[in-house]
Amino acid sequence: MSSESTPFETHFVSLEPLPTLPAVTILFVEDNELVRKFVRELLEPEGWKVHTCEDGVSAMRKLESAERFDVIITDNWIVWT
């Protein structure tokens, strides 16, 4: 075994901060509670306001309320009636 050390180089990458996105209010309709929680925890730290509903009936109630949503994301299998 050689007593010589192996040379190596260290490179640091400077990342610029990501641009700030505009505040968005989202209605996320998903029957799986873990998915609802994951999406909320993913988006709220970015400054987005996330409302969740577990079914189409409660989502329709939210849509009929005074709250306005910029984006609505739904599961393909949500029953709306």
Q: 3-class SS at 32?
A: coil
Cα→Cα distances 56→4, 61, 75, Å: 68, 9, 10
Of 4.10.220.20, 3.40.50.2300, 3.30.300.30, 3.40.50.10800, the CATH number of 25-74 is 3.40.50.2300
Q: Which pair of structure tokens corresponds to residue 49? A: 């306001």
At residue 4 the predicted structure's pLDDT band, cuts being 50, 70 and 90, is low
Distance from C-alpha of 63 to C-alpha of 58, rounded to nearest angstrom? 9
**Per-residue pLDDT tens for 18-53?**
567 678 899 999 999 999 999 999 989 888 999 999
Does this model's pTM top 0.85?
A: no
Determine the pLDDT at residue 67. 86
Spatial CA neighbour of 41 closest among 29, 31, 57, 52: 52
Q: What is the mean pLDDT of residues 71-79?
A: 83
β-sheet bridge partners, residue 71:
26
Determine the pLDDT at residue 18. 57
